[in-house]
Amino acid sequence: MDKMRRMGKRVETGMGALFFLCGVLTILFVALITVFLLASGIPAIQKIGLFDFLLGSVWASTAAEPSYGILPFLLTSVYGTFGAILAGTPIGLLCAVFLAKMAPEKAGTAVRGAVDLLAGIPSVVYGLVGMIVVVPFVRDAFGLPDGANLLSAIVVLAVMILPSVISVSETVLRAVPKEYEEASLALGATWTETVFGVVVPAAKSGIATAVILGVGRAVGEAMAVMMVSGNVANMPKLFGSVRFLTTAVASEMSYSSGLQRQVLFSIALVLFLFILAVNLILNLIVRRGERNE
């Protein structure tokens, strides 16, 4: 028995050290990426000027007199991300409620399988489906000469964030104590009133976390939005061709050189800081909500 106890303590100590090492490595990787982006991106911003870089409305990286204003990319990423969140979150939340609280066993199994498939589909496939289905539909529905625009990108991104929103939201809805439901039903509430009036509010912090994951997926997407957005450096309009921060880097990195290449690293730095800021803001909102409960 003593040998077993000593062996168990050693295993426990070893696993604790392994978990600690994994945590340290994660922090180290993030720190290295941050340092690399800062070192690669700041020199170009210094040459161009911070305000000309962030607030310039003209991107002409291959012109005789190049211009490197990324305001169109920045606004497009903001509009596209939050448009996708506004469109995808209600659908994802309602689907999660159905799976967690209302679905028959067979129907729930089928829907979960579909959600898992959505999570595993590569970005390029989303882009192909968007080009074949979404872009022609938007073009014909609104009488446009070309359906590759911001609206098409929002639709594709809204579909892409669904797996994250559904999976996390379903998990947190199932984690709400049964006593909440029983108390609500005992007071005379219907099942639907209980779910939307008691269970969903009790799980709002976890649902907010699901939205944060969706934001991360939407902001970081490149291939799919490149295929359906038109990939033109215009100021964002719902029915106009646009280019996102991610697609700006992906579309020009292969042939860039000199200052143009440095600017692409600067765009990557801005994208990194943008994602970091969005996550920090949403996490602060979640924490305030938890404190007020």
Q: Could you tell me if residue 286 is left (phi over 0), alpha (psi between -120 and 50 degrees) or otherwise beta?
A: alpha
> Rounded mean pLDDT of 45-62?
88
CB 140 within 8 A of CB 106: no
What percentage of the chain carries pLDDT values higher than 70? Answer: 97
3-state secondary structure at position 61 = coil
d(CA 281, CA 292): 17
d(CA 128, CA 119): 16
Angle at 248 between CA 247 and CA 253, to 5 degrees: 100
Q: Residue 85: name the closest of 193, 226, 176, 212 by CA.
A: 212
d(CA 281, CA 219): 15
**pLDDT, tens digit (0-9, with 9 covering 90-100), for 72-81:** 999 999 999 9
Q: Residue 59: name the closest of 209, 293, 233 by CA.
A: 233
pLDDT at 83: 93
Mean pLDDT, rounded, of the chain: 87
> DSSP string spanning 77-104?
HHHHHHHHHHHHHHHHHHHHHIIIII--
Token pair belonging to 32: 């290295």
**pLDDT, tens digit (0-9, with 9 covering 90-100), for 98-135:** 998 888 888 888 888 888 888 888 889 999 999 999 99
285-to-28, 197, 211, 291 alpha-carbon distances in Å: 27, 21, 12, 10
d(CA 134, CA 228): 8
What percentage of the chain carries pLDDT values higher than 90? Answer: 27
This prediction has a pTM of 0.86
**pLDDT, tens digit (0-9, with 9 covering 90-100), for 56-73:** 888 888 888 888 889 999
Token pair belonging to 229: 């957005």
d(CA 69, CA 66): 10
Give the residue extent of every domain in the chain.
Answer: 2-48, 71-292
**DSSP classification of residue 177:** -
Task: Report the run of H or E that residue 59 belongs to, with start and end.
Answer: strand 59-60
**pLDDT, tens digit (0-9, with 9 covering 90-100), for 13-38:** 888 888 889 989 989 998 998 899 88
H-only helix segments in 134-186: 135-142, 150-175, 178-186
pLDDT at 184: 87
Q: Which CATH architecture has domain 71-292?
A: Orthogonal Bundle (1.10)
Under the banding of pLDDT at 50, 70 and 90, the label for residue 290 is low
Under the banding of pLDDT at 50, 70 and 90, the label for residue 151 is very high
